[in-house]
Chain A
């Protein structure tokens, strides 16, 4: 069974204080790893897809990286508007089914 573990569960940063969120996964035949952002009262919003170890994607202050066992979401000089829950999800094998982690709740203090 595919497993996705995210850490930490919650993270509080000062504005401008860079950090990383972790997503560890156990799957058979990774086809894609997805990062989403979820704001309170909203659905998850797609950020990135990573397909293979060594791949990196960037968007504004966010950078996602992938190894064979985990993915990191690096947040550089975060702003209060980056506060949200960040979800990681994996798709494996020949299936469309995607397994989500339970997320990291990020709070950025001005």
Chain B
């Protein structure tokens, strides 16, 4: 079965540019999560969706960050304008609705470098 698919795998861009990260969750999963991972802070939850609806975006660091989920098979995380401190690995994860404490399944991430 296909796992969570993220694109691009690597992104290098200059400060001030718009960055869009993409995620395709596992088919049949109705919860989707965006994380950021750095050496200093580990894995931090940015936002999560249930049935395409944003539930908790309290982890989104600033208004420069936005996320959408237009349908059950696609989500985007956008940074505009980007800054060097946004450099990190961004992960997308999906799960079935966690009423039964189902584990999250992760993609292989997007390594983002802002110059």
Task: Verify if B107 is at the interface (C-beta below 8 Å from A).
Answer: yes
Task: Verify if B31 is at the interface (C-beta below 8 Å from A).
Answer: yes
Bound: A97/B45 CA distance, A: 8
Bound: A49/B98 CA distance, A: 12
A-B contact count (CB 8 A): 48
Main secondary structure of the interface of A (DSSP, over half): strand
Q: A43-B91, A100-B43, A103-B42 given as contacts; is B106 within 8 A of A51 (CB)?
A: no
Main secondary structure of the interface of B (DSSP, over half): strand
- Residues 45 to 102 of chain A near chain B (Cβ within 8 Å): 45-46, 49, 51, 87, 89, 91, 95-102
| Cβ A96 vs Cβ B50 within 8 A | yes
Q: Using CB atoms and an 8 Å cutoff, list the residues of chain A in contact with chain B.
A: 31-32, 34, 36, 41-46, 49, 51, 87, 89, 91, 95-103
